[in-house]
Amino acid sequence: MHHTFGDGSGVELFEDRSGYSLDRLRLLAIYDLLLRVVDTPMRVQRVAEVLFTSHRPRVPSDDARVRSALERLGARRGRDLRIRPLELPGTRELSWDVDGEPLVSLVIPTSYSRELVRQCLRSIREQTTYENLEVVIVDSSSGHLASAEPELAALEHRVVSYEGEFNFSTAVNRAAQAARGDYLVLLNDDTEVRSPDWVEKMLAQAQAPGVGVVGCRLSYPDGRVQHGGVAVHEGIPWHLYLGFPADAPGYRGMLGLVRNCGAVTGACMLVSSALFAELGGFDESMAINYADTDFCLRAVDAGQRVVWTPHAVLVHHERSSRRGRDGWTSSGSTGAGARATLAVTRTMIRRSCPRCTTNSVQRGPGGHRLLPFPT
């Protein structure tokens, strides 16, 4: 049966999803209902038009009835939940405790840019609070990685050798096969930890029902936003909020909110080992670019959600470790290869996930573009 609640919100409910209770305060009733439905298997279809607007004031972030609905959500999931109201009306941060202490494998492909790799490993060792970790490095540096031994010595690690023309997707897949973790974190060698509990924040999201892939906030060294999630616009994957100031809230506060995305970047992406294997890993025909977006869209097509969290923060010295290194030059990154890869990606998006597109505003406050350039 189909029920329409309140001001035009419609949800199809089946008898086996019963047990919800609705009060007569329509907005809170809709919110409580959606919190119950969100953990059930479903498909959400988006109508890409504005069908309804309202001038009603938002329910305050610290409203006791909202808190009660969220606490019931935590109880249904059997997980501890902390709720913190945020500054913007109607927004709040939900902090979930990690269930258990699963092994997490940090997968780091590298052709070795000495200081950046050592910096990455040092930040993992010195600033990461999650303890049940292993590092799996895919090394195409022809032996140069030995100089990073001081950093590796303090970390549980293994090294997978890679020879020949470098293919990022192949490197990731080989590392995934060698990894022992329950979860994989795909991590670029030119990243640096900024928030010590970054693994916990990402892992907590990955353990929510229906979540398959989790991404984090990446910043440039000067603090500007490098990655606020990925949206597919006109058949092309784009980084959201790229270049926004460090303290910018983003459109409707979204740079401060955990939210679903069409995709997240493989520069820092968490996924369960089981799902990675189930989906066949990265598509190795995409040697450098777009394999991360392709994987995320396949996850969405398999009924999983892709989530971005602003509470896990790393610095990304973007593309620094590739510049000028033959090992990273591939048919998938420049020229005709890039055009062929983009054509494959567009075809994949139309076939696999036509709903993963965006009508996001092209420019945000201050004139910053929300969709500045492709990933």
Domains detected in the chain: 2-96 (no CATH), 104-367 (3.90.550.10)
Q: Which residue has the higher pLDDT, 327 or 10?
A: 10
pLDDT greater than 60 at residue 18: no
In this prediction, residue 148 has a pLDDT band, given cuts at 50, 70 and 90, of confident
Q: What's this model's pTM, rounded to 2 decimal places?
A: 0.81
Give the integer Cα–Cα distance in Å for 329 and 39: 43
Going by C-alpha positions, the residue among 352, 279, 269, 351 that lies closest to residue 312 is 269
**Does residue 81 contact residue 99 with C-beta atoms inside 8 Å?**
no
Give the integer Cα–Cα distance in Å for 181 and 88: 38
Lowest mean pLDDT among 129-143, 263-277, 292-306: 129-143
pLDDT greater than 90 at residue 353: no
Average pLDDT, the chain: 79
pLDDT greater than 60 at residue 72: yes
In this prediction, residue 319 has a pLDDT band, given cuts at 50, 70 and 90, of low
The whole-number pLDDT of residue 347 equals: 54
Q: Of all residues in the chain, what percent carry a pLDDT higher than 90? A: 46
Q: At residue 230, what is the residue type?
A: V
Span 197-222, pLDDT tens digits:
999 999 999 999 999 999 999 999 99
Q: Of all residues in the chain, what percent carry a pLDDT higher than 70? A: 73
Give the integer Cα–Cα distance in Å for 249 and 270: 24
